[in-house]
Structure 1
């Protein structure tokens, strides 16, 4: 059965959003458009059953996935997501966005993604370890340092990566730190990796704000999602003189026109598990988050958050996509018509995969760089990628998203064309 038979008819699904983005870039691909179906078909999708013995002696079954969308430019690269709403279709879309992201940054990787449909908060530490090790064993035949390199994503962390690395290493009979990235530092992880995605959002946001004449001093910023990406981006914008006036997570939406104390809010969230009840801001409704006046909006939660209706209400100058696929295609059109600049996910949140690339390189050489070296390399690559996309957007008269896809898809399809078809 084709993996595409699992695709739903929902035009707002993550996969449908990705396909719509591909369609918009086709007029800009010239002769390479002949190979465009490569972008619409994941190379490989694996569905695995994960039986898990719970601490109480019962046995539960969880469904896991690993999708390799395209490997024309190198081994697959992409995170592993533990979330109760994970589906094969979502993982397909996330793997496709990774293909585009790696190509847009000119990293020598293809795109992949994995996930398990589970709420990790409901599992004990030992249950989570057993789940991770069984999942790793099930997908072990298609991952590897030259095949497909997993990394953390929503619901996973360096500890999960350590378990994955250890399990794969035990199964092949030798320690191989390069099979995953996002590991603990003492197991071959890279300095700067934890904050890399949020830092990338800040670096691209700062560069684009300068291009559109927006000063960060007293700039009003809103952040949806205060996880690893949103919290770091919020802290860096605050340090640069901006005011983070609104923050939203799964539990609450907070607003303070004078700016929220981000270090205090992050400390509260780490202690309480959510931002609800924080007394340094006023609680407002979930939808009111999209109706306030901002200069910069950072959606850093899950996909599909900026709908057409919300796009009509937004009052801001710049959207920085910290999450993957947060803006639906119809909303993209509305934002463009309203002259709201969107720095797309495939550039904006690519800091994580860039430092993952650094980690992979360091693991192969067993020579590790300082955090200052990591950040300097990251800043340079992110700024250069954004400049290339900006120049392409000016050249073809398109949004930054379509321009990013044009840059990326030219690289992907050129590789496909030059490699040819085998047999």
Structure 2
């Protein structure tokens, strides 16, 4: 099941639990706007290359639309639509005043030079600048993009609209970015995991963790979990997978990964088959890479007690049904909402023209993540459902209420 079908299925199940009017349900599912643009740039060798860019603006009932821009060769309309819809429910679960959007360009960023990436980003911004804005649609980094990408978008957008730091989040601190933003999604994963474990009388310390993905989210989650006393026993990235039952030295692994552009060859653990990582015996499994990695083929082999979805849509619905009996899953729209929450803090700081210190950012993030978990648990109790449906019913209900209050008519 592709990401769009799976996301829509979860939405429809939550709409049924909430008893939503069928016309309102349809209205909430259809995107506000879908944008598709051609981006042609000169390559460094003088040839021309064309790429297709997308921006799906899903919903703005609760505030400006919000969502990342990813550069990846598999970017397509279905994926962007699914992620935009997920952002709508995610911002509502976090209870921040945003809607949902997502964007991307179908390209392989590793095959492009820095100057080519800059030209591509500026052309994309030129094509969509009149459809994004501080109170309209606020992009952020995602897979294949970073703070430098956001700096280019800010600069290009400002040529048309004047200096507007709040038009994007995830910027360099020197251009109005927030302290604590780099670690935000990983730190949010830590806070969400603490909240879930506390429900069962446990803490991070002493728990065994397996993490799939060692990019921004996975690496920060690993560092923070290790610092909190958790034992990270296995990790994978695109170069391979390693395991040490006594716990990996995350600081040394970070250094090795930085110097070697991946974890392959790290001497502090044994190399294992990356495809077997998800079924390693552990207490907490954290998929922090691509979507759809937990599916009906491997769900019954997962030995973890808890799954914390740090990636977007890592679990197919069929796998949900197969594994929920044995494994407690904290869904992505709650577990990885730390990034968008601190993006909201960044946006607020830009509008106020006042910068927060990092301690304030982290303290506010803990408050928002812990409160969101409590709100989801309340929905679980109210509707007698699992955590995924609890999160979806919470998010969908908040968006539906805002839509009706603004004057929607059947």
2:77 aligned partner: 88
Task: Quote the Cα distance in structure 2 between the aligned partners of 1:313 and 1:305.
Answer: 13
1:107 to 80, 83, 96: 96
Deviation at 1:23, TM superposition (A): 2.0
Alpha carbons 1:223, 1:299 under 8 Å: kept: yes
2:344 to 350, 357, 361: 357
Alpha carbons 1:22, 1:39 under 8 Å: kept: no
Task: Quote the Cα distance in structure 2 between the aligned partners of 1:226 and 1:32.
Answer: 43
Task: Quote the Cα distance in structure 1 between the aligned partners of 2:309 and 2:201.
Answer: 19
2:387 aligned partner: 400
Q: Secondary structure at the match of 1:137?
A: helix
1:283 to 259, 271, 282: 271
Q: Map 1:83-162; keep pairs closer than 5 Å.
A: 83-162=72-151
1:193 aligned partner: 181
Deviation at 1:408, TM superposition (A): 0.9
2:41 aligned partner: 52
Task: Quote the Cα distance in structure 1 between the aligned partners of 2:409 and 2:43.
Answer: 45
Deviation at 1:334, TM superposition (A): 1.5
- CA deviation profile, 1:158-201 (whole Å, cap 9, x unmatched): 110000000000122x1110110000111111111110000000
Deviation at 1:395, TM superposition (A): 2.3
Instruction: List alignment gaps of at least 5 residues for structure 2.
Output: none
Deviation at 1:38, TM superposition (A): 2.2
TM-score (norm 2): 0.98
Are 1:324 and 2:320 an aligned pair? no
Task: Quote the Cα distance in structure 2 between the aligned partners of 1:74 and 1:26.
Answer: 21
Are 1:19 and 2:19 an aligned pair? no
Alpha carbons 2:36, 2:54 under 8 Å: kept: yes
1:40 to 5, 9, 29: 29
CA 31–421 in structure 1, closer or farther in 2 if over 3 Å, else same: closer
Q: Secondary structure at the match of 2:356?
A: coil
Deviation at 1:240, TM superposition (A): 1.2
Deviation at 1:300, TM superposition (A): 0.4
Q: Secondary structure at the match of 1:36?
A: helix
- CA deviation profile, 1:67-94 (whole Å, cap 9, x unmatched): 0011111111000001111111101111
Deviation at 1:363, TM superposition (A): 0.5
Task: Quote the Cα distance in structure 1 between the aligned partners of 2:313 and 2:41.
Answer: 31
Q: Secondary structure at the match of 2:183?
A: helix
2:288 aligned partner: 300
Are 1:183 and 2:171 an aligned pair? yes
Which has the higher mean CA deviation after the structures are superposed, 156-165 or 388-397? 388-397
1:171 aligned partner: 160
- CA deviation profile, 1:25-74 (whole Å, cap 9, x unmatched): 12321345541112321111101100010011000001110000111111
Which has the higher mean CA deviation after the structures are superposed, 111-120 or 39-48? 39-48
Alpha carbons 1:392, 1:403 under 8 Å: kept: yes
1:413 aligned partner: 400
2:198 to 210, 227, 233: 210
Q: Secondary structure at the match of 1:298?
A: strand
CA 422–215 in structure 1, closer or farther in 2 if over 3 Å, else same: closer
Deviation at 1:421, TM superposition (A): 4.2
Task: Quote the Cα distance in structure 2 between the aligned partners of 1:141 and 1:262.
Answer: 44
- CA deviation profile, 1:317-370 (whole Å, cap 9, x unmatched): 1111101100100111122122x1111111110001001101111101101111
Task: Quote the Cα distance in structure 2 between the aligned partners of 1:397 and 1:354.
Answer: 27
Alpha carbons 2:15, 2:396 under 8 Å: kept: no
Alpha carbons 1:32, 1:413 under 8 Å: kept: no
Alpha carbons 2:210, 2:280 under 8 Å: kept: no
Alpha carbons 1:32, 1:410 under 8 Å: kept: no
Deviation at 1:315, TM superposition (A): 0.4
1:6 aligned partner: none
Are 1:220 and 2:208 an aligned pair? yes
2:57 to 59, 62, 68: 68
Q: Secondary structure at the match of 1:222?
A: strand
Alpha carbons 1:32, 1:414 under 8 Å: kept: no
Task: Quote the Cα distance in structure 2 between the aligned partners of 1:326 and 1:175.
Answer: 38
Alpha carbons 1:201, 1:349 under 8 Å: kept: yes
Instruction: List alignment gaps of at least 5 residues for structure 1.
Output: 1-11
Task: Quote the Cα distance in structure 1 between the aligned partners of 2:70 and 2:29.
Answer: 22
